[in-house]
Amino acid sequence: MEAEVGIFVAALVGPTASGKTALALELARLLPVEVVSCDSQAVYRGMDVGTAKPTPKERAEVPHHLVDVAEVGEEFSAARYVELADEAIADIHARGKLPLVVGGTGLYLSALLYGLAAAPPKDEAVRRRLEGEVRRLGAPALHARLAQVDPEAAARISPGDPVRIVRALEVWELTGKPITQFHREHPRRPRYRALVLGVTPPRDELYRRVDERAVRMFEGGLLEETRALARAPGARRQLERCIGYGEALDVLEGRATPAEALARMQREQRRYAKRQLTWFRKMDVRWLPWPPRVEEVAELVAKARDSSGEVPKRVP
């Protein structure tokens, strides 16, 4: 489905644990919004505790799209996200509601608003070989290789993210060009009329919120959820590369104590929050003052929806 540029889309973005979901639910009390999730992990059924997915009660109060649309272990790409998000946005708009994209996966948001770069499709042989090297040598070793051929991509990709590392190396091997060059050459033509609002607390408070939420996840059943998910065919590889689930596997299999796993999970989530902020600060985002006032957010969204004028940005 092709996007319609005339459709207005609002978005709430920011790092993990910044309060995006809570603000979206408050906003839904003032505006007729339906949420389109923009979270690369919330698409998977059963990954609930470790992704801080909206609760069934919250999803009953405000419709959420692009949540629980894939099985753990199933491949889910940015292209697939855009396809499903386009369908959800068209449906929401047709019913006279306002699409509100909420989440922290910058790649998905950029693809939704501006399309995907024309990088080559995956090559099964190359990908299988690189994935085999990840299993033998570890993702950090391939991340070091990526840093030699595409330092810009390596700076954006975590050494613990084998999927994106393999994809960047795959593009390099197939074309001799870094994947970041494809991104730079991609024409950024808007696919929607969009207002993107950013929410983040000051760094010290953000890190405190990240740490406290990790504790709640461990206390709220992360180990039990991971044990159940790991039984599904093909799920293990995905769980290993997800912050929280990988650490939970280490506990379940005796490689770490709960305290050690929690500390590592907190550290990795803080690093992830930093990477998210780096990504979003390169996008056209209006950053809200902290703490955001829902009435002011509703006013911004309503004005942008009714106007084609440019909305000024505030950078934190």
Domain residue ranges of the chain, discontinuous segments joined by +:
8-116+190-220+269-305, 124-185
313 HSE (CA, 13 A, CB side)? 14
Give the mean pLDDT of 144-168: 90
Query: Which CATH superfamily does the domain covering 8-116+190-220+269-305 fall into?
Result: P-loop containing nucleotide triphosphate hydrolases (3.40.50.300)
Give the mean pLDDT of 141-159: 92
124-185 folds as: Histone, subunit A (1.10.20)
Find the Cα–Cα–Cα–Cα dihedral 166, 169, 173, 177, rounded to 10°: 140
Q: What would the pLDDT profile of 197-227 be if each residue is shown by its tens digit? A: 999 999 999 999 999 999 999 999 999 999 9
Q: Are 295 and 30 in contact (CB under 8 A)?
A: yes
What pTM was computed for the model? Answer: 0.85
Whether residue 291 has a cis bond before it, omega within 30° of 0:
yes
Q: What would the pLDDT profile of 229-284 be if each residue is shown by its tens digit? A: 999 888 988 898 899 999 999 999 999 999 999 999 999 999 999 999 999 998 99
- As a whole number, the mean pLDDT across the chain is 91
